[in-house]
Structure 1
Amino acid sequence: MSPRLASLPVDARFALLPPLTLVELSGADAGTHLHRFCTQDLRAVAPGGGREAMFLDAKGKLTAHGIVLRTADRWWFLGDAGQGARLAAHLDRYVIREEVRIADLGDARIGVLIRSSSGWNEPTAATLPDLASGAAMIAMSEDEALLIVRDGRFGADGVIVIGTRDAIDALTGVWDQAGNGRLSDGDVERARIEAGWPRFGVDVDAGYLAQELDRDRTAISFVKGCYLGQETVARIDALGHVNRKITPVRIERGAIDVPAELFAGDAPAGRLTSRVSIDGAETGIGLATLKIGAAKPGTVLRTEVDSAVRITVIDPASSSVG
């Protein structure tokens, strides 16, 4: 077992994550191939690093969203469940003479989230990249059985460990015996929503345009040059905005089942897709897809079912939506 994972800080808590997408790319041209088909500039990514990115179809619609990571001899795509088969087929379709091998490993790997406010011994806070810039960090355990990832999707203090079920079960057994607590599903969901990370299949799907995820600053390079779907991205950038986007909201005065249609006055404004309680059952935070006119911070929305519930748009530039 990796020494860096055998013991955690006393305050560290952990939780098994929902199913994930993990696509592995190897071969001399793996990095170049990924760079040609994603929204991010990967040329400066060194082993141990990574970047948030999107992969688009020819019309600029979303094929996959997640983190592209690099280890010593291969590249990885890590994302929410439901993207692996489509992304692997998408990338394989454009392999002509390139030396690239693509494997969808999502069904063979699971992930566990660790959160600790005091940090942990390796990687240390001092060595972490600026997560706000879209950067990420990856390491391998000594026996290469585990991927250790820090990418900001669960906040700055979140670390994801990915491995086979047997390997993850062995780790969590050690942590349970050591007295480290478990994160609840609500803890995990709150961390994701506070980080502004839209979940594929819940908040976004293959019908979304890149800028509708509102991840421009961290996931899109507007200067890297051509890639599949780039014309649509550039056209939207020239126009100045999309017609809808993922937006953080605060919910007060009642619980809401998601998904829920939202209204600004009597006019349809969008849909709430994620929600978690933060201060009791009647207060929560969430992510919604809103029409651009309703996405201004401070805008008050309501649901069709319960007009007493108060939903307020939050500034996504704040450090937390909580």
Structure 2
Amino acid sequence: MTSPLLTRPGAVDDTGADAGVAWHYGDPTAEQRALEAGRAVADQSHLGIVTVTGPDRLSWLDSLSTQQVGALAPGQSSELMILSPQGRIEHVAGIVDDGETAWLISESAPALALFLDRMRFMLRVEVADATADWAALGEAVAAPAADGEPVTWVDPWPGIVAGGTTYAATPDQPHAGAERAWRLVLVPRAELEAAIDARVEAGWTLVGTWATEAARIAAHRPRAAREVDETSLPHELDWLRTAVHLHKGCYRGQETVAKVHNVGRPPRRLTMLHLDGSGHALPEPGAPVLQGDGDDAREVGRVTSVARHHELGPIALAVLKRSVDPSSVLTVPSDGGPLAASQELIVNADGFSADRPPKPGPTMKGLLMGKGCAADGGDLPD
């Protein structure tokens, strides 16, 4: 869908995963500063919204997803994933329940709604893709909705929620995203412009995805439409912080999640790249990340997200092979020539979580490697 806000003065349409909303409205630096100051609103109407109703909705979603949401209180926000039987990420959604409806905010809403609808069986649930009727607007606010306010999802990143863990390289130090506040307010699509205008009239700045993406990348926050591919594991992206409960009941893909956490290591790792800013070139998402010089250069990963931050300069997220030396200076091709890139670690290079269990003995190792969940069928990744 194309947002009506693209008709505003200075609006420049974004492309790719963010097509249909504004990249910026004429002054991306000022927009970033307003977002950082907590007085900005962003059009996020390109995101999809799936609704699940019925008395069994929360226990049912709990049984299908990585997150423990069976007792989710009205107004409480969480994040969940739907995994393949092999533990690969298929869908990611923010979830908030209003007491009657579970609202799922996802970048793969049509496919997610189709999957959920096929899994209803005899349970008392109804699934609908509500994207045509409802839209999201983003605010630099960390508070949940007050009484009388619309349904609101508060981003739990970078907190470590109950049952979660972290693969952070520096788990004892403040997280880069600790100061980032972000929530999505759901409004009828027909009322989107009025809701945003009310905030602008109150002194807020309307910002585009240039600002929101720069803040997200600086906060090391993974995104399904950017960082996830067909082989992605939650561990590789440090997504066990907010979207995975390690001690809940059985769900599809659980065996791989447990194996990698307990006795394995993720084969790749998310990192932030600080790019050479001496020129004006930026790489495209999907660009290869190279290690070595000339004919000896080899591809060790891919750029997933890119932005020009108003303070940090050109930055990117990339998924690299875990074995890449964290001190290596890498290069990334661009239209303006190769760009030098230094790493800021997000996921540690040893592949161990902060609470990895002690090394198991022969008996326990055999139990851990067994088929413990009927919903699974995957093997431990290499």
Shorter-chain TM-score: which interval?
0.7 to 0.9
Provide TM-score, normalisation by structure 1: 0.78
Equivalent position of 1:149 in the other structure: 153
1:271 aligns with 2:282: no
1:303 aligns with 2:332: yes
Equivalent position of 1:110 in the other structure: 135
> Structure 1: which amino acid aligns with 2:322?
I
Equivalent position of 2:59 in the other structure: 32
Q: 1:308 to 1:62 in 2, by over 3 A?
A: closer
1:284 aligns with 2:314: yes
Query: What do the CA deviations read for 1:161-212 (whole angstroms, capped 9, x no partner)?
Result: 2222321211222233344222243211112212323232332134423323
Show structure 1 runs of 5+ residues with no match. 1-9, 117-124, 129-136
Query: What do the CA deviations read for 1:247-290 (whole angstroms, capped 9, x no partner)?
Result: 2222223432212110121221101121111248x931211111
SS of 1:248 mapped into structure 2:
strand
Equivalent position of 1:6 in the other structure: none
> Structure 2: which amino acid aligns with 1:302?
T
Equivalent position of 1:43 in the other structure: 70
Equivalent residue runs for 1:112-151 within 5 Å: 112-115=137-140, 128=143, 137=144, 141=148, 146-151=150-155
Q: 8 Å contact 1:38–1:53 — kept in the other structure?
A: yes
Q: 8 Å contact 1:60–1:229 — kept in the other structure?
A: yes
Q: 1:37 to 1:24 in 2, by over 3 A?
A: same
> Structure 2: which amino acid aligns with 1:213?
L
Q: After alignment, is 163-172 or 95-104 more displaced?
A: 163-172
SS of 1:28 mapped into structure 2:
coil
1:223 aligns with 2:254: no
Q: 1:308 to 1:222 in 2, by over 3 A?
A: same
Q: 8 Å contact 2:156–2:242 — kept in the other structure?
A: no
Q: Which of residues 108, 115, 118 in structure 2 aligns to 1:90?
A: 115
Q: 1:162 to 1:176 in 2, by over 3 A?
A: same
> Structure 2: which amino acid aligns with 1:175?
R
Q: 1:195 to 1:298 in 2, by over 3 A?
A: same
SS of 1:241 mapped into structure 2:
coil
Q: Which of residues 279, 283, 287 in structure 2 aligns to 1:257?
A: 283
> Structure 1: which amino acid aligns with 2:42?
A
Equivalent residue runs for 1:36-75 within 5 Å: 36-75=63-102
Q: CA deviation at 1:229?
A: 1.1
Provide TM-score, normalisation by structure 2: 0.67
Q: CA deviation at 1:55?
A: 0.7
Q: CA deviation at 1:297?
A: 4.5
Q: Which of residues 333, 343, 350 in structure 2 aligns to 1:313?
A: 343
> Structure 2: which amino acid aligns with 1:149?
W
Equivalent position of 2:368 in the other structure: none
Query: What do the CA deviations read for 1:51-90 (whole angstroms, capped 9, x no partner)?
Result: 22111122222221121222111212112x2x11211222
**Which structure has the bigger radius of gyration?**
2
Show structure 2 runs of 5+ residues with no match. 1-36, 158-176, 349-382
Q: After alignment, is 249-258 or 22-31 more displaced?
A: 249-258
Q: CA deviation at 1:219?
A: 1.4
> Structure 1: which amino acid aligns with 2:124?
E
Distance 1:41 1:244 in 2: 26
Q: 1:315 to 1:238 in 2, by over 3 A?
A: same
Distance 1:67 1:184 in 2: 21
SS of 2:224 mapped into structure 1:
coil
Q: After alignment, is 200-209 or 88-97 more displaced?
A: 200-209
Distance 2:347 2:254 in 1: 25
CA-based RMSD of the aligned residues comes to 2.7
Greater strand proportion: 1
Distance 2:338 2:313 in 1: 13
Equivalent position of 2:204 in the other structure: 180
SS of 2:194 mapped into structure 1:
helix
Q: 8 Å contact 1:49–1:70 — kept in the other structure?
A: yes
Equivalent position of 1:122 in the other structure: none
Q: CA deviation at 1:307?
A: 7.1
Q: CA deviation at 1:95?
A: 1.8
Question: What is the aligned-residue identity percentage?
Answer: 28
